[in-house]
Each structure stands twice: as structure tokens, then as C-alpha cells.
Amino acid sequence: MASLSGNSSGSTQILQNSGSEGDLQMQGAMNERKRKRMQSNRESARRSRMRKQKHLDDMVSQVAQLRNDNAQILNNINHTTQHYLNVERENSVLRAQVMELTHRLQSLDDMIASINSIYGIFDSSPAPAPEILTAPETFMANPWMYLNQPIMASADSMFQC
């Protein structure tokens, strides 16, 4: 029996040694997996940081482009506004000229009506070429020559108070 007990104790020792080696191998494999997982996590974190940096760079680029577009749009708005103001100013001058011409036409119509009421006739033949006379004599000799005079109106005269 002594041999049995010796054998059993020897095999127990072998099992213990095998268990310790197995534990060490298992621990080594777990450490290897842990190390690989940590390395994989580091790579994943690095890729994530790179994606985040690329996204940030893209957004900064987009902001610069949008600012450029915004400046261009504002420039177009300012140009259009300036053009609008110029057209409005020109329209004001034209309105003033229309009012002045309308007033002149009404005055001429009144003059024709007065002449017709006095003389009872209206001569529609063209007036002869004017002679060189002083201003009052010219008007009295040929009041129709003033019909072709330019009308001077400007936006400045419209807004004087």
C-alpha cells in the first residue's frame, strides 16, 4: 500500500504541477487577450480622434466658405441697394420734370385760350425764325420759341426746404 500511497501522492503532485502550468498558461492567454483588447481600444480611440479632428477641420472649412458666401451676398445687396437709390433719385428728377412740363403745358394752354378769346383765332402755322432781340422783346415777338427750352430739375432742388 505504501506504493499506492506513494503513487497517489506522486500523481497528485503531478496534477498540482500540471494545474499550476495550466493556470499560468491560462493567465498568459488572458493577459495576451487583455493586451490585444487594450491595443484594439487604443487604435479605436485613435481612429475616433482622427474622425473627430477631420470633422472639426471640415466644419472650420465650411464656416470659412459660408462667411465668404455671406460677404459676397452682402456685397451684392449693397450694390443692388445703391443701384435702387440711384434709380429712385433719377425717378424723382423725372417726376419733377413731368410736373414742370405739365405746369408749362397748362400755362401754354391758358395762353392759347386767352389769345383765342381775345382774337378768336389760333394760328397753327410754324413761327418764323426768331430775330436777335433782347429777352422781353423776344418773348413778346415769339412766345412759342420757349417751348423747346430744356427743363432743368434735379433731386437737390426737390428736397430743399
pLDDT in tens, 140-155: 555 555 555 555 555 5
Instruction: Give a yes or no: residue 46 inside a domain.
Output: yes
State the total domains in the chain.
1
Instruction: Give a yes or no: residue 144 inside a domain.
Output: yes
Q: Give the structural domain span for 27.
A: 7-123+130-156
Q: Does residue 25 carry a pLDDT above 80?
A: yes
Instruction: Give a yes or no: residue 95 inside a domain.
Output: yes
Instruction: Give a yes or no: residue 1 inside a domain.
Output: no
* Of 33, 61, 54, nearest in space to 46 by CA: 54
pLDDT tens-digit series, residues 38-78: 999 999 999 999 999 999 999 999 999 999 999 999 999 99
Q: How high is the pLDDT of residue 3?
A: 47
Instruction: Give a yes or no: residue 161 inside a domain.
Output: no
Q: What is d(CA 25, CA 9) in angstroms, rounded to the nearest whole number?
A: 24
pLDDT tens-digit series, residues 75-95: 999 999 999 999 999 999 999
The one-letter amino acid code at 145 reads: M
Instruction: Give a yes or no: residue 114 inside a domain.
Output: yes
* Of 38, 35, 17, nearest in space to 27 by CA: 35
Mean pLDDT for 114-121 is 81
Instruction: Give a yes or no: residue 2 inside a domain.
Output: no
Q: How high is the pLDDT of residue 122?
A: 53
Predicted model pTM: 0.44
DSSP string, 33-63: HHHHHHHHHHHHHHHHHHHHHHHHHHHHHHH
Instruction: Give a yes or no: residue 100 inside a domain.
Output: yes
